[in-house]
Structure 1
Amino acid sequence: MPEVPIVMPQLGESIAEATIVQFNVSVGDTVDAEQDLIEVETNKATMSVPTLCGGVLKELHAEEGQSYAVGSVLGVIEVTEEELKRTGVDTIEQAQIASAPSSSEESYQAQSEEEQNLHFKTEGGGYFEPKTVEPNVQGLPVPMGKKGAHYISPRMRARMNELGLQAADISAITGSGTGGRVTVADLEQFLDYISAWPSSKASPMRLAVADAMRRSWSRPLATVGRPIVMDKLLSYRAAQNPKPGLTLYLLRAFALALAEHPEAAGYLIGGSIVHPRAFDIGVAVQVTDGVMVPVLRNVDTKSVRELAADYAELVDLARAKKLTREHTQGGIATVTNFGTFGLTWGTPIPLPNETLILGMSAGVKKPVWSDEVGAFVPFTEAGLDLTFDHRVIDGGDAGRVLNRVAELLASPQHL
């Protein structure tokens, strides 16, 4: 009879293993589909592991009190051909084939062959012991493995490549495979489901932005923010002829703050943090169906007035979509003035090759307490939001940079 594995499922986005608390069934018992077979404990909660189909529990390969990695085979159920066809679950052999790495993954997963042997049958027909790990349920979450809904089989990867799809494109699909894995059949059913929906072809610009944001979001990003009073800056700017754009002051203050805290603009590569060799800052410019980011060079060494001509030229080139590779490479951070759209709050996302992005929201009149007059006085208040790669710096470091930017903007005559 066909044999179906009982697999330790992905029990949460940051859960890589769980500890067996107790078994609700014994070898030889008849079990029903979706029956809770095993109680397990993670570092967040106690949960149950259900069976995906009905049958007879043939073997258990796990022990109470032991921790097992996500994807480990905890037992085996014998099922009928009819039940297998009804539920569509993978047998031991099918799961073993789906879990084998593709040729492009072999060098990346040097230990994968040994790991797969821990899950499935030996050549002699027996079973290896499931993969146990040291209990971690009292500690911090550890990175999850490539099993379950986050694992893409070689067959699925090949079909996605044919369709030009990325992993993010299938995130809306509920998987029916082992451990919630999205199968080719799931993908085809989803594509058929949306085939009659209105659609339009994404422009090359939109696709470029989507690719950059997908790569950016592969990192742990966080955002800190604070308000700033804008009246001194607005009054000083109004007195200038010609009047520089507010974004120029933000660029200059950001570069000076980073020059004082260069570690905040570092970039993590392997086990090293690469620090900036120059404070070249990009500026986000809205164009048709996307955003372009030209880079101003050595912003920490030039005044706002000295930056104005280069800034105006680059913005014009961006809006005309005539920026060259030289205009867009080498930035260590970006500023974006989304306040020009009337937005009062936001969480901008840094480019994949940058650790930081600083945003400014729209100014709003608010009553602010003044110690000088001992009363609330109407001031123009805007928000500063700094998004950063949390692998490189923490909230305190980001806060120091943001506070320094606010201090510099409060003295615009020195910018």
Structure 2
Amino acid sequence: MPINITMPALSPTMEEGNLAKWLVKEGDKIAPGDVIAEIETDKATMEVEAVDEGTVAKIVVPAGTAGVKVNALIAVLAADGADVAAAAAGEAPKAVPAAAPAKVDAPAAVAAAPAPVAPAAPAPAVAKGERVFASPLARRLAKEAGVELSAVAGSGPHGRVVKADVEKAVASGVAPKAVVSASASASPTSTAAPVATGLSDEAVLKLFEQGTYELLPHDGMRRVIASRLTESHQTIPSYFLSIDAELDALNALRVEINKGAPMRKTEHGDAPVFKLSVNDFIIKALALALRDVPLANASWTSSARVLHKHSDVGVAVAIPDGLITPIIRKAELKPLSVISTEMKDLGRRARDKKLKPEEFQGGTSAVSNLGMFGVSNFTSIINPPHASIVSIGAGIEKPVVKNGEIKVATVMTATFAFDHRVIDGALGAELASAFKRYLEKPMSMLV
């Protein structure tokens, strides 16, 4: 019996991916666990394993195809002993998804060649208080576009509104939902104002003379970054705290540790096993501070605060036209040398888009460091499920007063962003103070 292989969901937020490479060809026999393809998501390139045994009867989506939707048919497998030619012709298929990573549940596959569905008629207005069934992504897109979900025709199962329905509604000019401004709410006779959604693409381009610009289309990563950060900025009540820390003791200790690092032989000669950076100390300091102030090592849900038992620290890494935040797990328990080695490996694979989902999803807080660019201070947007992020500026020599005398010290400004639903002001200040204490007394990170 033919078995349909569909595009798997390689992360909870994945909507589509690029089929980068087939590692099998038509006629090849495969077994469960065999790697059959490489899929590029917005964050990483991942291998896909077979879940059934049989012969590859037909490759439907060629290598190099971009924007393949989750659950789309990508290949047909003839079950062991079945007629390969009949399977390639699509006789009596059953649909199964390609294997996804163990920690991600692959969605149910769709049948190949479904019967054509007539376009849905415009949905009638939903009575006030009646529930509208829609996917989470569709709800978010409708909110961003200011579209009332009750006015959108749902094409999903049982009339469920999905992403494509919202996009179609926006393109067709469905009236945006009305909201009452603060001033209007005070007056019963005031009229509702539409949600401001910014200039349209066409309106933006009209402001510039043709030929003076070029268009760089958004890739999947840029769209995900824009969506998540917009959602974070609009839904998380953030506040910011800045604190200065002197780095002279840390810099001196770092030099001494690096001098004493064991050596190993390489093809280019002897090289140290590790070389600590200031950022390694910053990761460790944040991890220990979160351990010392456990109420700040938390995430928000509508029913409870999630108090984490370990400090899983994300570190923002710039990659071509985007960024990703690989995570150092249980960083409070790891020596600086291990943190340094892990971070170099994660950073390299992040830039090559080779991270696994569990290596960049989750975490309890994050570090964003722009000090190497000479930036003195800045603020960052919190990346849920984190409730905090610390922005690190450059270490700059400044005059400071010590015991009534002016001295010169290397001072770094760290600016924390906190989710006020989880971390109140005093708690945030306590975490920032603990972080500063570890940086200024770095020997405490070694014991």
Question: If the length of structure 1 is used for normalisation, what is the TM-score?
Answer: 0.58
C-alpha distance in 1 between matches for 2:384 and 2:405:
46
Of the candidates 125, 128, 132, which is equivalent to residue 104 of structure 1?
132
Within 5 A, what are the aligned runs for 1:204-283?
204-217=220-233, 218-241=235-258, 242-283=274-315
Of the candidates 131, 155, 180, which is equivalent to residue 193 of structure 2?
180
1:297 aligns with 2:329: yes
Q: CA deviation at 1:190?
A: 4.1
| SS class of match (2:192) | helix
Question: Which whole-Å deviations, capped at 9, do the CAs of 1:141-166 have from their partners, x for residues lacking one?
Answer: xxxxx99x99643487678522879x
1:385 aligns with 2:380: no
| SS class of match (1:335) | strand
Change in Cα spacing, 1:195 to 1:102, as seen in structure 2 (3 Å) is farther
Q: CA deviation at 1:280?
A: 1.3
| SS class of match (1:392) | coil
- Maintained 8 Å contact 2:152/2:169: no
Change in Cα spacing, 1:154 to 1:191, as seen in structure 2 (3 Å) is farther
Query: Partner letter of residue 306 of structure 1?
Result: V
| SS class of match (1:352) | coil
Query: Partner letter of residue 296 of structure 2?
Result: A
Aligned CA-pair RMSD:
3.6
Counterpart position of 2:390? 358
Counterpart position of 2:167? 161
Change in Cα spacing, 1:336 to 1:107, as seen in structure 2 (3 Å) is closer
Within 5 A, what are the aligned runs for 1:15-414?
100=128, 104=132, 152-154=147-149, 161-162=167-168, 178-182=191-195, 190-196=200-206, 197=208, 198=213, 199-217=215-233, 218-241=235-258, 242-371=274-403, 374-414=404-444
- Maintained 8 Å contact 1:342/1:362: yes
Change in Cα spacing, 1:303 to 1:265, as seen in structure 2 (3 Å) is same
- Maintained 8 Å contact 2:246/2:439: no
- Maintained 8 Å contact 2:401/2:407: yes
User: Which protein is bigger by CA-based radius of gyration?
Assistant: 1
Identity %: 26
C-alpha distance in 1 between matches for 2:361 and 2:145:
33
| Structure 1, 400-409 or 347-356: larger mean CA deviation | 347-356
Question: Which whole-Å deviations, capped at 9, do the CAs of 1:232-267 have from their partners, x for residues lacking one?
Answer: 111211222253111111111111111111111222
| Structure 1, 295-304 or 241-250: larger mean CA deviation | 241-250
Change in Cα spacing, 1:367 to 1:206, as seen in structure 2 (3 Å) is same
C-alpha distance in 2 between matches for 1:350 and 1:192:
31
Q: CA deviation at 1:227?
A: 0.9
Number of residue pairs aligned between Structure 1 and Structure 2: 269
Question: Which whole-Å deviations, capped at 9, do the CAs of 1:258-305 have from their partners, x for residues lacking one?
Answer: 111111122221231111132211111111111111111111111212
Q: CA deviation at 1:313?
A: 0.7
Q: CA deviation at 1:318?
A: 0.9
| SS class of match (1:378) | strand
Change in Cα spacing, 1:348 to 1:190, as seen in structure 2 (3 Å) is closer
- Maintained 8 Å contact 1:225/1:385: yes
C-alpha distance in 2 between matches for 1:202 and 1:107:
23
C-alpha distance in 2 between matches for 1:107 and 1:215:
16
C-alpha distance in 2 between matches for 1:157 and 1:248:
50
- Maintained 8 Å contact 1:230/1:363: yes
Change in Cα spacing, 1:164 to 1:244, as seen in structure 2 (3 Å) is farther
Question: If the length of structure 2 is used for normalisation, what is the TM-score?
Answer: 0.54
C-alpha distance in 2 between matches for 1:249 and 1:210:
30
C-alpha distance in 2 between matches for 1:263 and 1:257:
11
Q: What 5-or-longer segments of structure 2 have no aligned partner?
A: 1-123, 137-141, 154-164, 182-189, 259-273
| SS class of match (2:276) | coil
| SS class of match (2:394) | coil
| SS class of match (1:227) | strand
Change in Cα spacing, 1:291 to 1:304, as seen in structure 2 (3 Å) is same
C-alpha distance in 2 between matches for 1:104 and 1:276:
35
Change in Cα spacing, 1:151 to 1:178, as seen in structure 2 (3 Å) is farther
Counterpart position of 1:127? none
- Maintained 8 Å contact 1:346/1:361: yes
Query: Partner letter of residue 208 of structure 1?
Result: V
Q: CA deviation at 1:384?
A: 0.9
